[in-house]
């Protein structure tokens, strides 16, 4: 049976004294009573900001709104709130108004790479489908502040259908990621309709859902929702735990429901200064995740979104954390550290260097302990040159999907079937001088 903390009981009583046990776990009740102003925040946690600071906070809210579920609010340590990782992720800071010259409203160019409203098509075989701008909580480090700030907007069916039709008419798409906002802010019926429409498209093999509900509003993970999701397998779900303190009893129960429903779970953590930029914190987090059947998927370098300078760490901090994970814990507990490159460059893995050097027949490697060793290359390797003539290939390429796509980028330079030998930037001055 769930044990409620003293702080949860006090907060619930101050909000609504009737039937605390029934209402606290009602996700709609939680949404209805989300904390959206500084005065309510102060009252519920017994915190008082000095007038000058309070004025700066209110100025911040004019650009970047506040929304915290009572559940997530109850996790804040009010005795040390300024250093609390829950507080730092959920409560505004005047530093959000400091926008450096490198920061962008849409740092990942998601709107630019959008063939129709709501669809971002960056990678060849998958799309990001924005089906809601609404979240149960407004994360201060959100890369989509430009969208989530529009807290009252959920696309109408007509707009959703435009995105579905784009997917239907683009046969190379095999993977659809539902994102937002938070897709689980939609009603069960609306979500069921969207999943049914996408699942009717023959070339879509998998649907993923990106949601922070298990972290900030775990009561949304209801038995009724599970019945909806189980109808549409294969469904995958990625969530967003950033600190071990977020792994509460309620969150663990939500993850259990999802995993028991046959939904593979992953987690995307953002590296945040003052919140989790410590190898011990991240290691504890990944251990708690795998203990609850969640695979650590990505460790993100914080994006160049407006007002996030105070959250960003040097890339070297991320490398240091990875050095303390690789070899020091189970391989499946180690996320991939990535930078989501500005201007739509996509996710770029950034890892410690383990290849020290190599020659024509040996590779010199080092392991996590600093042990240096050599790996002997094969002396006789019969290179298979790929000309994309699969019918005459000696390999057992008896696949049920004969669709082939040409390589792009580095894979194009490595391809035997393509004569391209270099990739030259479009505005290369040396090329212009040649003309």
Q: Which of 23, 126, 147, 288 is catalytic?
A: 126
**Active-site residue flag, 142:** yes
Structure tokens at 393: 């290939």
Establish whether the linkage from the previous residue to 221 is cis, with ω within 30° of 0: no
Q: Give the HSE-up count for residue 320: Cα atoms under 13 Å, Cβ half-sphere.
A: 12
**Active-site residue flag, 139:** yes
Distance CA(281)–CA(85), nearest Å, equals: 11
**C-alpha to C-alpha distances, 339 to 115, 137, 312, nearest whole angstrom:** 24, 24, 12
Distance CA(81)–CA(254), nearest Å, equals: 26
Cα Rg of the chain, angstroms: 24
139 belongs to an annotated ligand binding site: yes
DSSP character string of 92-144: --GGGG---TT-BSSTT-TTTT-SSTTEEEEETTEEEEE-----SS--TT-TT
- B/e letters for 378-409, b = 16+ CB within 10 Å, e = fewer, are eeeeeeeeeeeeeeeeeeeeeeeeeeeeebee
Q: Which of 56, 122, 252, 284 is catalytic?
A: 122
**Active-site residue flag, 122:** yes
Distance CA(286)–CA(299), nearest Å, equals: 10
Distance CA(243)–CA(281), nearest Å, equals: 7
Distance CA(7)–CA(311), nearest Å, equals: 28
Q: Which of 106, 113, 182, 340 is catalytic?
A: 340
**Active-site residue flag, 278:** no
**Active-site residue flag, 54:** no
393 belongs to an annotated ligand binding site: no
**Active-site residue flag, 340:** yes
Q: Which of 23, 140, 144, 220 is catalytic?
A: 144
390 belongs to an annotated ligand binding site: no
DSSP character string of 51-97: HHHHHHHHHHHHHS---B-HHHHTTS-GGGGGG-HHHHHHS--GGGG
Q: Which of 43, 56, 63, 347 is catalytic?
A: 347
265-271 sheet: strands from edge to edge: 119-123, 126-130, 175-179, 206-210, 235-239, 265-271, 294-301, 336-341, 346-349
**Active-site residue flag, 303:** yes
Please name the residues in contact with 215: beta carbons below 8 A apart, sequence gap of 6 or more.
72, 239, 240, 241, 242, 246, 251
**Active-site residue flag, 223:** no
- Do residues 272 and 318 make contact, with C-beta atoms less than 8 angstroms apart? no
Q: Which of 84, 297, 303, 337 is catalytic?
A: 303
Distance CA(9)–CA(40), nearest Å, equals: 16
Distance CA(152)–CA(92), nearest Å, equals: 19
**Active-site residue flag, 126:** yes
- Do residues 72 and 33 make contact, with C-beta atoms less than 8 angstroms apart? no
Distance CA(424)–CA(409), nearest Å, equals: 11
Query: Binding site: what residues are annotated?
Result: 135, 139, 142
Kindly list the catalytic residues. Answer: 122-123, 126, 135, 139, 142, 144, 303, 340, 347
Query: Binding site for [4Fe-4S] cluster: what residues are annotated?
Result: 135, 139, 142
């Amino acid at each position: 049976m769930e044990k409620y903390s003293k702080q949860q009981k006090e907060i619930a009583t101050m909000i609504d004294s009737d039937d605390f046990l029934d209402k606290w776990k009602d996700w709609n009740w939680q949404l209805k009573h989300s904390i959206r102003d500084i005065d309510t925040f102060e009252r519920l946690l017994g915190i008082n900001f000095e007038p000058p600071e309070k004025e700066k906070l209110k100025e911040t809210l004019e650009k970047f709104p506040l929304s915290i579920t009572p559940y997530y609010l109850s996790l804040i340590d009010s005795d040390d709130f300024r250093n609390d990782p829950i507080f730092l992720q959920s409560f505004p800071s005047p530093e959000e108004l400091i926008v450096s010259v490198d920061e962008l409203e849409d740092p990942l160019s998601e709107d630019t790479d959008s063939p129709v409203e709501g669809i971002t098509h960056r990678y060849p075989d998958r799309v990001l489908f924005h089906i809601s701008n609404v979240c149960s909580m407004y994360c201060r480090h959100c890369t989509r502040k430009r969208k989530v700030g529009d807290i009252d907007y959920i696309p109408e069916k007509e707009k959703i259908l435009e995105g579905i039709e784009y997917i239907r008419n683009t046969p190379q798409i095999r993977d659809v990621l539902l994102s937002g906002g938070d897709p689980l802010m939609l009603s069960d019926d609306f979500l069921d309709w969207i999943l049914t429409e996408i699942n009717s498209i023959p070339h879509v093999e998998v649907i993923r859902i990106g949601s922070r509900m298990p972290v900030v509003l775990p009561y949304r993970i209801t038995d009724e929702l599970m019945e909806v999701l189980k109808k549409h397998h294969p469904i995958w779900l990625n969530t967003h735990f950033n600190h071990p303190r977020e792994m509460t009893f309620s969150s663990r129960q939500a993850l259990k429901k999802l995993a028991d429903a046959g939904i593979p779970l992953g987690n995307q953590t953002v590296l945040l200064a003052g919140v989790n930029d410590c190898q011990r914190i991240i290691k504890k987090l990944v251990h708690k995740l795998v203990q609850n059947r969640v695979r650590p998927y990505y460790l993100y370098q914080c994006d160049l979104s407006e007002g996030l300078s105070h959250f960003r760490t040097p890339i070297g901090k991320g490398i240091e954390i990875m050095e303390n994970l690789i070899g020091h814990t189970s391989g499946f507990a180690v996320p991939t550290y990535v930078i989501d490159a500005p201007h739509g460059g996509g996710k770029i893995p950034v890892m410690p260097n383990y290849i020290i050097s190599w020659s024509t027949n040996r590779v010199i490697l080092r392991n996590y302990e600093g042990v240096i060793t050599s790996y002997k290359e094969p002396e006789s390797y019969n290179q298979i040159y790929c000309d994309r003539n699969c019918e005459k290939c000696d390999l057992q390429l008896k696949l049920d999907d004969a669709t082939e796509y040409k390589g792009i980028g580095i894979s194009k330079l490595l391809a035997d079937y393509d004569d391209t030998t270099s990739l030259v930037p479009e505005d290369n001055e040396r090329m212009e001088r040649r003309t």
